[in-house]
Amino acid sequence: MNKQKLNNAEIEMAVAKLPGWAVQDGKLHKQYKFRTFAQALGWMVSVGVYADKIDHHPEWTNVYNKVTVSLVTHDLDNAISNLDVDLAQKMEELAP
Ligand code: H2B
């Protein structure tokens, strides 16, 4: 999949279909809360395998059962791209 910057309208349309996601500091942002640390970690591993497959990696932090995610495309001057939306969609799909 090639990387393309999205314009504001495209970003707003994408975010409207991604529950709990918002644009924050120019990045796609969501905080996930899981039942347990093991669930959070399991989800991170599944997402990580996909991220590596598409060569697009999240900025994220984990504290116990919470994972805070920011998605942006470093190779496109830190703009939000179609790959950030694709990764956010996969995160939603994989969330328990
Ligand atoms: N992840 C993110 N989030 N943005 C990028 O621009 C990016 C990446 N670029 N993962 C990839 C790796 C690039 O550095 C490699 C060389 O393809």
d(CA 71, CA 88): 8
Q: What is the pLDDT of residue 20?
A: 98
Q: Could you tell me what percent of the chain has a pLDDT over 70?
A: 100
Is residue 29 predicted with pLDDT exceeding 90? yes
For ligand 1, is residue 74 a contact (CB within 6 Å)?
Answer: yes
| Contact status, residue 15 vs residue 22, Cβ threshold 8 Å | yes
Query: Which pair of structure tokens corresponds to residue 95?
Result: 């969330």
pTM metric for this prediction: 0.98
Closest ligand 1 atom to residue 58 Cα is: 3
How far is 21 from 23, CA to CA, in rounded Å? 7
The number of the ligand 1 atom at minimal distance from the alpha carbon of 84 is 3
Number of H-type helices and E-type strands within the chain: 3, 4
What tokens were used for 80? 């939000």
CATH topology of domain 8-94: Gyrase A; domain 2 (3.30.1360)
Domain ranges of the chain: 8-94
